[in-house]
């Protein structure tokens, strides 16, 4: 069997139905095999970075593996942002890169380059992949591919990369004699201090769940719903955990952090027990004063990565396991009891009602109102993607996630240009589900060429360009620190989005208000692409946002109830 055909079949066996890629001289055999395989579609983006971001979102949308393919040298290098994104956000993606004929590769490390478009991508990405290898022996492809797929999916998930010289792709192998990978036993005894956790829960009067990206496996899980109902728990989330609990569930009180909901941050400050499921508690969540984070609470942390358990914020109980395994064990124990915290829930609801994501009294929250209105047109298996910057924070503060909807971000890396290719990846996994791709006028232009992919594939991707004629989040910081706007306003520009949409034969809408957004609902609900330009004031801000030299539960603009 030809190696490239074997790889295509192995990807199919893993349930991958779409592979994202970009052609090149050293990857043609692999792409040809993938495109010819039954049950797999090859989708060509217009930049390798977009391939990588699309594969990230495809994996998140499906809860399985994503795959992106690129040629050697600059093609492989262009994947790096997407590889880093998968590493930091724990997304299992297989990256396949073409390479020069193995006999043409340099053997002298002091030599910078031997062949055209030769570059050692493996050494470059080893620090942020779970496995990276150049296959120099065709008979080893089965071993390397099986090992890579196993590592990508096991433990804390993440990216892997297999570099394939041209002659290796075209080689024939005998699967009867090809070396195989021995899959290790992942199951080990799990030790959870049930009695200690039970005692903490019994004492708690204001318990709170914090749902992170590691809790995504709990979405729509009956055991999880039984857990929070039995213990009468309220919940907040990190940026990556926003879609775990539907927002029409009365137990959900928003996302935390520097740009989080006031209610969620005040809840963390007021709780007396915080159970953290799969969240890293990074500085964007805890603020610049981690000692102030949940300072009145005992903290229980559950994380599949043992190194995260002692990161940034100390805890009372640390449990190194997957969130689903933890809940299964906990709920099987008779020591876990039923509880009633109705008074605490009433207090949280009062705060939630008092601090909605937008208000007519604060015109700076117009973007929040527009995004909330837009999100109400989506449901079921629909997806929302966001870029980085003000648009990401407005989205996280405002969208209304229901049913099986997802919100996909570049959370850890915070990569500009993520939203549009991510929307393509999510759409193609979920059978052309509608996707709301929220982006800023800065990030949008990082992968603006993917409008061609959307148009060619006729995807129901609804792009909301939040156009405030600047890099808004940076502009706000510059105004405070430097009293200038070099690069964020001065030297920044945008195209005419109406003409841009017309050039790709994509419908265009101009949005100036929440009423305009509501009137555009038919365009959001049809099966066609859409480019909607949301024209905003150049001085837009995110409200609430971090207050200078204050902990996260005190946000700007500062209000009298902060405590």
Alpha carbons 552 and 545: distance in angstroms, whole number = 9
- The Cα angle at residue 358 between residues 234 and 216, in degrees rounded to 5: 40
Helix axes 390-398, 366-375, angle to 10 degrees: 60
pLDDT for 334 equals 66
> The whole model's pTM is what?
0.94
- Cis peptide preceding 521, ω within 30 of 0: no
Alpha carbons 551 and 563: distance in angstroms, whole number = 10
pLDDT for 104 equals 73
Asked whether the beta carbons of 470 and 538 are under 8 A apart, the reply is yes
**Which residues are CB-neighbours of 122 under 8 A, at least 6 positions away?**
132, 133, 134, 161, 163
Any bridge partners for residue 193, and if so which? none
Tokens coding 232: 């009468």
- Cis peptide preceding 166, ω within 30 of 0: no
CA distances from 388 to 39, 286, 378 (A): 34, 19, 21
**Which residues are CB-neighbours of 481 under 8 A, at least 6 positions away?**
none
Alpha carbons 447 and 418: distance in angstroms, whole number = 8
Strand residue runs (E) in 139-284: 160-165, 207-211, 234-237, 252-255, 273-277
- Cis peptide preceding 159, ω within 30 of 0: no
Asked whether the beta carbons of 254 and 263 are under 8 A apart, the reply is yes
Return per-residue pLDDT of the chain as tens, 563 residues. Answer: 999 999 999 999 999 999 999 999 899 999 999 999 999 999 999 999 999 999 999 999 999 999 999 999 999 999 999 999 999 999 999 999 998 777 877 677 777 777 777 789 999 999 999 999 999 999 999 999 999 999 999 999 999 999 999 999 999 999 888 888 888 876 666 778 888 998 899 899 999 999 999 999 999 999 999 999 999 999 999 999 999 999 999 999 999 999 999 999 999 999 999 999 999 999 889 988 999 999 999 999 999 999 999 888 989 999 999 999 999 888 887 666 778 999 999 999 999 999 999 998 889 999 999 999 999 999 999 999 999 999 999 999 999 999 999 999 999 999 999 999 999 999 999 876 899 999 999 999 999 999 999 999 999 999 999 999 888 888 888 888 888 888 888 888 999 999 999 999 999 999 999 999 999 999 999 999 999 999 999 989 999 988 888 888 988 888 865 44
pLDDT for 284 equals 87
Any bridge partners for residue 162, and if so which? 96, 133
Give the 3-state secondary structure of residue 319.
Answer: strand
Alpha carbons 93 and 400: distance in angstroms, whole number = 28
What is the phi/psi pair of residue 278, to 5°? 70, 35
- DSSP-derived pairing of the beta strands 131-134 and 160-165: parallel
Pick the CATH number of 194-354 from 3.30.70.980, 3.40.50.1220, 3.60.20.10, 3.40.50.620: 3.40.50.1220
**Which residues are CB-neighbours of 337 under 8 A, at least 6 positions away?**
198, 201, 202, 231
Residue recorded with tokens 């117009």: 366
Where in the chain are all domains bearing CATH 3.40.50.970?
3-169, 363-542
- Of 96, 52, 49, 54, the C-alpha closest to 72 is 96
Asked whether the beta carbons of 454 and 529 are under 8 A apart, the reply is yes
Alpha carbons 365 and 251: distance in angstroms, whole number = 24
Where in the chain are all domains bearing CATH 3.40.50.1220?
194-354
Pick the CATH number of 3-169 from 3.40.50.970, 3.10.310.30, 3.40.50.300, 3.90.1530.10: 3.40.50.970
Tallying the residues shown for the chain, one arrives at 563
> What is the distance of C-alpha 91 from the center of its chain?
8
Radius of gyration of the chain (CA): 24
Q: Spell out the long-range contacts of 516-520 with Cβ–Cβ below 8 A and sequence spacing 24 or more.
A: 517/370, 517/373, 517/374, 518/373
Alpha carbons 358 and 372: distance in angstroms, whole number = 9
Asked whether the beta carbons of 458 and 529 are under 8 A apart, the reply is yes
What is the phi/psi pair of residue 43, to 5°? -115, 120
> What is the distance of C-alpha 561 from the center of its chain?
33
* Homologous superfamily assigned to 363-542: Thiamin diphosphate (ThDP)-binding fold, Pyr/PP domains (3.40.50.970)
Burial of 480 (0-12, 13-18, 19+ CB in 10 A): exposed
Alpha carbons 548 and 356: distance in angstroms, whole number = 22
Give the 3-state secondary structure of residue 407.
Answer: strand
Alpha carbons 34 and 49: distance in angstroms, whole number = 19
Any bridge partners for residue 131, and if so which? 160
Asked whether the beta carbons of 210 and 275 are under 8 A apart, the reply is yes
């Amino acid at each position: 069997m030809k190696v490239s055909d074997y790889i295509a079949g192995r990807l199919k066996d893993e349930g991958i139905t779409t592979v994202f890629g970009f052609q090149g001289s050293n990857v043609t055999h692999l792409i040809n095999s993938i495109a010819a395989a039954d049950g797999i579609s090859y989708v060509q983006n217009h930049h390798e970075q977009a391939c990588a971001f699309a594969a990230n979102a495809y994996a998140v949308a499906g809860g399985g593996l994503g795959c992106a393919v690129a040629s050697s040298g600059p093609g492989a290098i262009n994947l790096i942002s997407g590889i880093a994104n998968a590493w930091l956000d724990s997304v299992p993606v297989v990256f396949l890169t073409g390479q020069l004929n193995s006999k043409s590769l340099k053997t002298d490390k002091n030599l910078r380059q031997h062949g055209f478009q030769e570059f050692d991508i493996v050494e470059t990405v080893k620090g942020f992949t779970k496995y990276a290898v150049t296959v120099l022996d065709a008979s080893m492809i089965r071993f390397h591919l099986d090992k890579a797929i196993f590592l990508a999916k096991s433990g804390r998930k993440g990216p892997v990369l297999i570099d394939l010289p041209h002659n290796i792709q075209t080689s024939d192998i005998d699967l009867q004699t090809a070396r195989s990978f021995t899959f290790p036993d992942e199951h080990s005894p799990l030790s959870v201090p049930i009695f200690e956790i039970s005692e903490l829960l019994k004492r708690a009067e204001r318990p709170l769940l914090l749902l992170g990206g590691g809790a995504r496996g709990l979405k729509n899980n009956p055991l999880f719903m039984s857990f929070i109902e039995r213990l009468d728990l309220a919940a907040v989330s990190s940026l990556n955990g926003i879609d775990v609990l539907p927002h029409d569930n009365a137990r959900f009180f928003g996302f935390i952090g520097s740009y989080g909901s006031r209610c969620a941050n005040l809840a963390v400050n007021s709780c007396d027990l915080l159970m953290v499921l799969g969240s890293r508690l990074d500085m964007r969540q805890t603020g610049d004063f981690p000692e102030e984070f949940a300072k009145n609470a005992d903290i229980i942390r559950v994380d599949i990565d043992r190194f995260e358990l002692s990161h940034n914020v100390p805890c009372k109980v640390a449990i190194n396991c997957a969130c689903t395994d933890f809940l299964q064990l906990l709920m099987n124990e008779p020591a876990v009891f039923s509880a009633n915290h109705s008074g605490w829930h009433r207090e949280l609801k009062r705060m939630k009602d008092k601090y909605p994501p937008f208000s007519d009294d604060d015109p700076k929250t117009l973007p929040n109102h527009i995004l909330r209105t837009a999100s109400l047109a989506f449901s079921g298996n629909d997806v929302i993607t966001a870029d980085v910057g003000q648009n990401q924070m407005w989205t996280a503060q405002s969208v209304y996630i229901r049913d099986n909807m997802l919100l996909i971000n570049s959370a850890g890396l915070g990569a500009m240009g993520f939203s549009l290719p991510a929307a393509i990846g999510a759409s193609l996994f979920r059978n052309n589900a509608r996707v709301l791709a929220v982006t800023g006028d800065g990030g949008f232009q990082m992968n603006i060429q993917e409008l061609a992919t959307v148009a060619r594939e006729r995807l129901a991707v609804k792009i909301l360009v939040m156009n405030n004629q600047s890099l808004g989040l940076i502009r706000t910081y510059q105004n405070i620190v430097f009293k200038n706007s070099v690069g964020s306003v001065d030297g920044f520009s945008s195209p005419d989005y109406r003409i841009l949409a017309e050039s790709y034969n994509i419908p265009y809408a101009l949005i100036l208000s929440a009423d305009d957004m509501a009137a555009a609902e038919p365009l959001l609900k049809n099966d066609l692409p859409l480019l909607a330009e949301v024209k905003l004031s150049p001085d837009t801000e995110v409200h609430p946002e971090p207050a200078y030299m204050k902990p996260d539960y005190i946000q700007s603009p500062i209000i009298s109830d902060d405590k």
